[in-house]
């Protein structure tokens, strides 16, 4: 069992428990509450909160109750994005993780509203700090999350992804690799992983290496998305134009992925050089999740 597997076995149930506890208090309305829980507590991997917690532990810091709660906020954002992405006007997916998607089960209006409530709720979680000393950290987390989940990150990426979907093979020539990586993959997928990684540095009070963790999260995130597209292509389920394997082929996509994995490793090496207490084993295991 890898360090990461042990870590996931220990912390994923705690993340789920934290999410359920906060969701139970997220609204006065029973139906809205049930729909929000349906959207979040559906067997997600919790990759983003776990990444934050892994960064904290890699610095030898204790994961406190406050840190666990703060780390869970990004999952509210990730969950809302899935609910809104599934909507008929967006990707029109009626299934999510083997069950009906939120709008398929509860209707389109509720799909929009559940997403709005989860998005808003993420900031309720982050601003609910019991300990006075880390007020500035909380505000910095909110500043980072609002940028990377919004117009500088996820929403920006989704706007471009919609443009991408609206393209056809005929005008596919307009889509370059650089555009796909910088305008879709990076903001849509890597941005929240960048936030999650950076949040770990903030919560562990390791600001001097925050930029390296930003670099790690960004490179990990882009590699993660490329792998996802490679897997889809291999399963022959990919009928969409405008993915990296579609444009440059599987082999060149693997090379791109490995290039980003290497950048992520370099970021970890840099942190190891700078911070004596830093153990890169756990975060290296995150990189090992990606590959052939």
Residues in touch with its own copies (CB under 8 A): 26-29, 31-33, 36, 84, 87, 89-90, 107-113, 115-117, 119-121, 123-124, 126-129, 132, 135-136, 138-140, 142-143, 145-147, 149-152, 155-156, 158-160, 162
Residue number with CB closer to its own copies (189 or 233) = 189
Residue number with CB closer to its own copies (107 or 249) = 107
Nearest-CA neighbor of 44 among 14, 78, 69? 78
| Distance, CA of 221 to CA of 192 (rounded, Å) | 8
Q: Which residue has the tokens 């599987």?
A: 250
Nearest-CA neighbor of 50 among 20, 5, 84? 5
* Whether the Cβ atoms of residue 137 and residue 210 lie closer than 8 Å to each other: no
Residue number with CB closer to its own copies (11 or 76) = 76
Least Å from the CB of residue 132 to its own copies: 8
Helix or strand holding residue 116 (H, E): helix 108-126
Least Å from the CB of residue 151 to its own copies: 3
Residue number with CB closer to its own copies (121 or 200) = 121
Least Å from the CB of residue 128 to its own copies: 6
For residue 100, list its beta bridge partners: 95
Least Å from the CB of residue 122 to its own copies: 8
DSSP 8-state class, residue 25: T
Least Å from the CB of residue 249 to its own copies: 28
Least Å from the CB of residue 59 to its own copies: 24
Please count the other Cβ atoms lying within 10 Å of the Cβ belonging to residue 147. 14
Nearest-CA neighbor of 50 among 95, 18, 89? 18
Q: Which residue has the tokens 């999410």?
A: 19
Least Å from the CB of residue 27 to its own copies: 3
* Whether the Cβ atoms of residue 284 and residue 236 lie closer than 8 Å to each other: no
Residue number with CB closer to its own copies (144 or 282) = 144
* Whether the Cβ atoms of residue 287 and residue 269 lie closer than 8 Å to each other: no
Residue number with CB closer to its own copies (53 or 126) = 126
Task: State the burial class of residue 201 (Cβ atoms within 10 Å of its Cβ: 0-12, 13-18, 19+).
Answer: buried
Residue number with CB closer to its own copies (105 or 159) = 159
């Amino acid at each position: 069992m890898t360090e990461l597997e042990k870590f996931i076995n220990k912390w994923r149930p705690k993340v789920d428990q934290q999410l359920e506890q906060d969701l139970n208090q997220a609204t006065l309305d029973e139906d809205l509450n049930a729909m929000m829980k349906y959207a979040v507590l559906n067997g997600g991997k919790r990759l983003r909160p776990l990444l934050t917690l892994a960064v904290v532990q890699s610095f030898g810091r204790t994961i406190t109750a406050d840190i666990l709660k703060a780390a869970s906020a990004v999952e509210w954002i990730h969950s809302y994005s899935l609910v809104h992405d599934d909507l008929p006007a967006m990707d029109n997916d009626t299934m999510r993780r083997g069950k009906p998607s939120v709008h398929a089960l509860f209707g389109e209006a509720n799909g929009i509203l559940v997403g709005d409530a989860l998005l808003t709720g993420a900031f309720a979680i982050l601003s609910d700090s019991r300990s006075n000393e880390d007020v500035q950290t909380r505000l910095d987390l909110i500043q980072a999350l609002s940028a990377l989940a919004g117009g500088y990150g996820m929403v920006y990426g989704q706007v471009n992804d919609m443009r991408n979907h609206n393209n056809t093979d005929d005008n596919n020539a307009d889509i370059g690799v650089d555009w796909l990586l910088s305008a879709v993959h990076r903001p849509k997928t890597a941005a929240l992983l960048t936030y999650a990684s950076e949040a770990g540095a903030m919560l562990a009070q390791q600001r001097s290496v925050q930029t390296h963790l930003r670099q790690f999260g960004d490179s990990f995130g882009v590699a993660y998305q490329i792998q996802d597209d490679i897997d889809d292509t291999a399963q022959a389920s990919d009928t969409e134009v405008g993915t990296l394997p579609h444009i440059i082929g599987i082999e060149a996509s693997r090379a791109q992925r490995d290039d980003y994995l290497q950048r992520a490793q370099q970021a970890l090496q840099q942190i190891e050089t700078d911070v004596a207490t830093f153990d890169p084993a756990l975060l290296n295991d995150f990189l090992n999740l990606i590959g052939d």
